[in-house]
Structure 1
């Protein structure tokens, strides 16, 4: 099976976080959205410091990696206004 390889770049640390593997870019996008909107996650607290990258693909049948790094955007793009909407509702 072919798995896509992703990582997050931390601008303040000037380093990439440990890579992770998922089937699709959509799954990675959903995972980042969940992290960025979790009040207890570091991606939520410092969203502007991080960017998501796809590094390539891994074939678990042949143990080959096809490297093709591309940016999938700043994690700011994955943060939603759900928190702001929830705060507005509680103040009404």
Structure 2
């Protein structure tokens, strides 16, 4: 309504500006909406990744302990449980 420039939102283009842009009215030609990405602290990311991996290992150990407590009269079920335990123990080491 006020027909004024608003940073990253609006620009009041002159006829000459529009003509210089070959009458192209695409907003990015007149309004810069770019905002830089925040910097990432790679040391913090590395620490968080390390902590998450430690939690995963602890959870897998706990899961293996729970699976070892399971029993079944069905040999196929027990074989499946033992395969899961074997695979998880291989990943934990």
TM-score by length of 1: 0.23
TM-score by length of 2: 0.23
Structure label with greater radius of gyration: 2
Structure in which a larger fraction of residues adopt helix: 2
Structure in which a larger fraction of residues adopt strand: 1
